[in-house]
């Protein structure tokens, strides 16, 4: 619940800033953010997960990891500082040099926060994350909005990011309230590194791959195109993540209990696929139905270029119910080697698609992500028949009714366009009509997932 609130607040802040700034400025900062996203994984180095996993941990362990993380941060910042001219030359953007050097300072509070995150996660004190994250979000919002209003351009986003990480870390340090003695132990590093380095390498590969399209759009096309690409992806991803988080915390946690019984695992997987499709289908078809009005109302006319990308990414998220369930089947059966091989296959196929579509136009290049999603869906589901007796054809039959109802809902809300009203009333009417149509269809069909999802939402809110 806390995570949903902070995501909501962050979205509102980004909505305000998007109205004050231009897409080109967002695109430039997006390039820097992708570099820093990779750096964050290197700074953590898998030590966070290693600290959580270790049976007995004391302050020497935390202090040792802090030293390592801070040392890595210093090296990465030096790399960023002296490498920023090269990045500016590569992208042909002079502003990248000073912006990277300033925004790159976030690596130092990130080093501290990674250790504090592990400390709180180990103690199951998740509410403290909420206060820190919310505090950082609100403080950075004030800084970013003030600078944007006063014409600082991309520097508003740079200092918003820097302030967010700094305030987040300061609040986290206060609420943790630990008595950390600065001490370094080589003996403690070795087992932690042995465990964490494998996780770091896996995360690093996945991270670089996930950012690859963004890096290429910024280079081959324009920073404005990159901004539209990211904006179009952000809304479907936010909604998808919220649904997946709610389900993951309540439903998918039971998967590992079924690992020894194919019958029970299949039963749990079928329920997961159906419930996920029931919740995801109307949301995604709803996004498709109000994409134009949503972009204009929330972000203003200057972001109209993001509409085609929102269509592309919304369609790709229609595969999420099947993908999430199939991956969790593999993990529930403890098939870690299989999981790793599947990841490699998906990345190799994805790289081929990226190379093939790279210079065929920015929209076709973005659409290639949809092709990669289809290929990934096939790979993810390829072993479900063997592991849980739940093949892809049966999964499609399970989700088809929900997608059919959502499609009918979509057709109904598109009729509102015939009224030719302005964007805000059109969006409101479409949302209300969409909810009404989907709920009525579910009631008529006596859909049990309607009542189960209501209970799930109550449980999720109560847990928060």
At 312 the pLDDT is 93
At 186 the pLDDT is 77
Confidence category of residue 224, pLDDT binned at 50, 70, 90 = very high
* One domain for residues 76 and 9: yes
pLDDT digits (tens, 9 = 90+) for 139-174: 999 999 999 999 999 999 999 999 999 998 888 888
Lowest mean pLDDT segment, chosen from 5-14, 26-35, 42-51, 243-252: 243-252
At 303 the pLDDT is 94
Domain count, the chain: 2
User: Would residue 301 count as lying in a domain?
Assistant: yes
Could you list the residue range(s) of the whole structural domain that residue 381 is in? 221-463
| Single pTM value for the model | 0.87
* One domain for residues 91 and 181: yes
Taking 70 as the threshold, does the pLDDT of residue 259 lie above it? no
d(CA 169, CA 153): 25
Confidence category of residue 255, pLDDT binned at 50, 70, 90 = low
pLDDT digits (tens, 9 = 90+) for 279-299: 899 999 999 999 999 999 999
Share of the chain above pLDDT 90, in %: 44
pLDDT digits (tens, 9 = 90+) for 308-318: 999 999 999 99
- Contact assessment for residue 317 and residue 291, using Cβ atoms and an 8 Å cutoff: no
Confidence category of residue 404, pLDDT binned at 50, 70, 90 = very high
At 147 the pLDDT is 94
* One domain for residues 124 and 24: yes
At 201 the pLDDT is 80
* One domain for residues 198 and 232: no
* One domain for residues 389 and 438: yes
Share of the chain above pLDDT 70, in %: 91
Taking 70 as the threshold, does the pLDDT of residue 41 lie above it? yes
**Domain end among 209, 236, 265:** 209
At 258 the pLDDT is 64
At 330 the pLDDT is 81
User: Would residue 121 count as lying in a domain?
Assistant: yes
Mean pLDDT score of the chain: 85
At 412 the pLDDT is 95
* One domain for residues 158 and 239: no
* One domain for residues 101 and 170: yes
| Interacting residues of 296 by C-beta distance below 8 A, sequence separation 6+ | 303, 304, 423
pLDDT digits (tens, 9 = 90+) for 109-139: 998 888 888 777 777 766 777 777 888 888 9
Give the Å distances, CA to CA, from 136 to 101, 112, 141.
Answer: 21, 15, 8
Q: Is the dihedral of CA 421, 423, 424, 428 positive or negative?
A: positive
Confidence category of residue 409, pLDDT binned at 50, 70, 90 = very high
* One domain for residues 186 and 249: no
Considering 255-259, 363-367, 389-393, the range whose residues carry the highest mean pLDDT is: 363-367
**Domain end among 209, 236, 263:** 209
User: Would residue 214 count as lying in a domain?
Assistant: no
* One domain for residues 190 and 306: no
pLDDT digits (tens, 9 = 90+) for 436-455: 999 999 988 888 878 777 76
Taking 80 as the threshold, does the pLDDT of residue 194 lie above it? no
Taking 80 as the threshold, does the pLDDT of residue 266 lie above it? yes
Please tell me which residue, 120 or 400, carries the higher pLDDT value: 400
* One domain for residues 105 and 27: yes
* One domain for residues 181 and 231: no
**Domain end among 209, 235, 263:** 209
Please tell me which residue, 124 or 41, carries the higher pLDDT value: 41
């Amino acid at each position: 619940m806390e995570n949903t609130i902070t995501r909501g607040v962050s979205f509102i802040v980004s909505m305000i800033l998007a109205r004050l700034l231009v897409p080109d400025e967002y695109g430039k900062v997006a390039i820097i953010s992708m570099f820093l996203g990779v750096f964050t994984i290197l700074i953590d180095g898998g030590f966070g997960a290693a600290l959580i996993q270790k049976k007995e941990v004391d302050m020497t362990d935390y202090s040792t990891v802090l030293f390592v993380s801070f040392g890595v941060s210093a090296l990465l910042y030096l790399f960023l500082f002296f490498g920023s001219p090269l990045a500016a030359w590569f992208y042909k953007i002079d502003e990248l040099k000073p912006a990277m050097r300033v925004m790159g300072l976030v690596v130092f509070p990130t080093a501290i926060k990674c250790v504090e995150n592990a400390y709180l996660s180990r103690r199951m004190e998740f509410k403290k994350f909420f206060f820190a994250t919310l505090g950082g979000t609100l403080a950075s919002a004030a800084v970013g909005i003030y600078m944007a209003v006063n014409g600082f351009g991309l520097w508003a986003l740079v200092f918003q990011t820097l302030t967010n990480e700094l305030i987040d870390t300061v609040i986290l340090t206060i609420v943790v309230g630990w008595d950390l003695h600065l001490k370094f132990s080589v003996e403690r590093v070795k087992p932690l590194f042995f465990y964490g380095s494998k996780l770091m390498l896996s995360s690093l590969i996945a991270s670089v791959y996930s950012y690859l399209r963004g890096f290429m759009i910024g280079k081959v096309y324009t920073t404005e195109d990159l901004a539209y690409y990211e904006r179009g992806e952000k809304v479907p991803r936010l909604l998808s993540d919220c649904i997946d988080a709610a389900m993951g915390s309540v439903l998918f946690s039971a998967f590992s209990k079924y690992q020894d019984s194919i019958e029970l695992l299949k039963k749990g997987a079928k329920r997961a696929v159906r419930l996920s499709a029931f919740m995801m289908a109307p949301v995604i078809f709803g996004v498709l139905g109000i994409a134009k009005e949503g972009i204009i109302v929330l972000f203003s006319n200057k972001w109209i270029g993001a509409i085609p990308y929102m269509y592309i990414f919304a369609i790709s998220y229609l595969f999420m119910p099947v993908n999430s369930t199939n991956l969790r089947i593999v993990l529930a059966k403890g098939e870690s080697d299989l999981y790793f091989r599947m990841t490699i296959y998906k990345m190799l196929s994805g790289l081929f698609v990226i190379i093939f579509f790279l210079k065929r136009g920015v929209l076709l290049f973005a659409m290639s992500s949809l092709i990669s999603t289809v290929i990934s869906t096939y790979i993810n589901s390829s072993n479900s028949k063997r592991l849980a007796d739940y093949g892809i054809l049966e999964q499609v039959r399970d989700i088809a009714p929900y997608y059919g109802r959502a499609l009918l809902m979509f057709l109904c809300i598109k009729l509102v366009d015939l009224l030719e009203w302005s964007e805000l009333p059109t969006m409101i009417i479409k949302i209300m009509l969409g909810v009404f149509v989907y709920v009525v269809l579910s009631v008529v069909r006596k859909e049990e997932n309607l009542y189960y999802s209501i209970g799930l939402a109550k449980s999720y809110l109560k847990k928060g």
